Amino acid sequence: MNLTPEIINYEAQLNKLLAEVRSLNPADNLYSSMNDYVCIRITGYIETSLDSLLITYTDGATTTSALKNVIHIYISGHHSAKYDKIKEMLGAFDEHWADNFVREIDLENKRSKKDLAQTLNTIFSMRNSIAHGGAASVNITPSSLRAYYESAKQIIRIVARVIP
């Protein structure tokens, strides 16, 4: 499946935010707050992109309004789209999607020497810490945000590839 316009627009917004964060002085009072904000937006990108891909598939796969509505509610009802949650959601549509997702993630991990599942879970853990008043910003820098964002984009592109 191709990336949706919603995903492309979200990526443009994040690219702009990341450029703004890189231009801030670490001594500036806004520095850590902006890093926290961008971390939250990266997780929002993952959740919104996942929703967008699955809703686009659903809209093309069924013409029954009631069924679409139920599926849209199910899709939009998730929070913290960590690795296992994405795998579970894909498997709810088709077990082959979940299997292909795991296989693609493993291949990308070997190719890039990363652990995308761990990175994904880390991003959401940081977001949850920020949202609940934790000190996640201590570990967040513009360069780490860029790395998290690049991993998030890889994950979304893998999801797009496994959905027909």
DSSP SS3 for 137: helix
Give the residue among 17, 26, 13 at the shortest CA–CA distance from 141: 26
What pLDDT tens digit does each residue of the chain (164 aa) get? 999 999 999 999 999 999 999 999 988 888 888 999 999 999 999 999 999 999 999 888 888 888 888 887 877 766 788 999 999 999 999 999 999 999 999 999 999 999 999 999 999 999 988 888 876 556 688 999 999 999 999 999 999 999 99
Give the global pTM.
Answer: 0.91
Cα-based torsion angle of the residue sequence 105, 107, 108, 113 in order, rounded to the nearest 10 degrees? 120
Q: From its phi and psi, is residue 28 left (phi > 0), alpha (psi between -120 and 50) or beta?
A: beta
Domain ranges for the chain: 5-162
A 10 A CB-CB count for 52 gives: 21
